[in-house]
Structure 1
């Protein structure tokens, strides 16, 4: 936080600070509209001012401001008793939509069979599909619903951008999240092999039931462009 230069009047510096604050607040509120609605105006403005003072931005493009704010929130903001217990995770969830919408990743179908066999070949996951897990039902949080403690079970979501650049959100479960994780980790596995691993981890007495159920899940993910095809 640099002192005011001697050749700049206090009034001029105040005008500059107000302009800068308003620009930052506008960029942050655009990405986090529900958070702004949930918090009181004083709480929201105090948080923006704390970011303004504490954080040194690494990226200066206007559209990068929300990501810088999230970095401040996750790594630099000290504990504030008035902050909702879900604040950090919920603001991450709000940020994801913007981050995916401006991602420079592109979907390419080179070497991918759009109508390949999801069980006998390797299902290819879109680079624009993010599997997320939270301790709160972040997709339900609103002015009316604000949890006071973590849920007993984690919430799993897939946020994605399809080939038409349309955004999509899908609530899923730990098993589907694990399946996508396995496929992402080992690109040599077929869908059947990955699902058999799931069945073994679950100690399921009938692996074929898991495989057939998994095939239906993979088919649904294919229709949403979360899975692009097979290789």
Structure 2
């Protein structure tokens, strides 16, 4: 037990040094070589963050990016044992701290969250669900892709290059991010509030397009028109092709 405790303490001391750069003697570690550990660990962290947040890296200057990563690396003791999950802790660190970069770039928090969601959806466990690809869009209950997330943003971080987003773009934006079941590719669809409402109804279970339209129209006290049905059919046709809707209820 004592050996175990000593080993743990020495490992924790090395981890603290790698984060802070403040070295206290560690048995078995040569001070003249220990700097290599810190450099290697920092490079792994930086590479992981650049892979997770390529749009943010492109937005920030090299000086801003390096300062942000070094601050996070030095001040935040990562908790997750899974390396791929570490970039989420950057998002948490930035938001909890109210980081100055979030004040400089008003849309940065949403951009970070969008990029993290792509990683999370790509890495998430499979969510098997029963469905068939054979069916009629106008009559058969639709099955929603279970590997997806609905989001609302104030800035169009999913539609415009970050460097082109301005205060004039502020508004309400809705989208669905989802993982395609065959390729594992994560993509998104831009949505209207009405389409969001229909997808939320589909979360409860398979329903026909006609039932979805009628429920939404009833909730908003709108008439069911031919134009509205045509617009819904166009959306669900696209959703089936892109695999946001993965198919029909299997009878």
Counterpart for residue 58 of structure 2: 37
Q: Distance in 2 between matches of 1:143 and 1:230?
A: 37
The alignment status of 1:223 with 2:241, answered yes or no, reads yes
Q: Which runs of 5+ in 2 are unaligned?
A: 1-15
RMSD: 2.7
Q: 2:133 aligns with which of 114, 128, 140?
A: 114
Q: Distance in 1 between matches of 2:220 and 2:32?
A: 67
What is the Cα deviation at residue 222 of structure 1?
A: 1.1
Residue deviations 1:46-77 (CA, integer Å, cap 9, x gap):
21122223433232333222223223233x33
What is the Cα deviation at residue 86 of structure 1?
A: 0.7
Counterpart for residue 142 of structure 1: 161
Residue deviations 1:5-57 (CA, integer Å, cap 9, x gap):
32356654443322222210110011112211211222212211222234332
1:118–1:229 contact (8 Å) kept in structure 2 = no
**Aligned pairs, number:** 226
What SS does structure 2 have at the residue aligned with 1:138? coil
Counterpart for residue 82 of structure 2: 61
Q: Distance in 1 between matches of 2:206 and 2:235?
A: 20
1:19-168 equivalence runs, <5 A: 19-74=40-95, 76-80=96-100, 83-108=104-129, 110=130, 112-142=131-161, 144-148=163-167, 151-152=170-171, 154-165=172-183, 166-168=185-187
TM-score where L is the length of structure 2: 0.76
Q: Distance in 1 between matches of 2:174 and 2:207?
A: 23
Answer with 1 or 2: which has the greater Rg. Answer: 2
TM-score where L is the length of structure 1: 0.82
Point out which structure has higher relative CO (alpha carbons under 8 A, 6+ apart): 1
The alignment status of 1:16 with 2:24, answered yes or no, reads no
What SS does structure 1 have at the residue aligned with 2:152? strand
What is the Cα deviation at residue 208 of structure 1?
A: 5.3
Q: Distance in 2 between matches of 1:225 and 1:198?
A: 22
Q: 1:5 aligns with which of 9, 18, 24?
A: 24
Between Structure 1 and Structure 2, the one with more helix by share is: 2
Q: Distance in 2 between matches of 1:41 and 1:207?
A: 53
What is the Cα deviation at residue 213 of structure 1?
A: 2.8
Q: Which runs of 5+ in 1 are unaligned?
A: none
More displaced 10-residue stretch of structure 1: 200-209 or 19-28: 200-209
Q: 2:189 aligns with which of 159, 170, 174?
A: 170
What is the Cα deviation at residue 104 of structure 1?
A: 2.3
What is the Cα deviation at residue 221 of structure 1?
A: 0.8
Counterpart for residue 228 of structure 2: 210
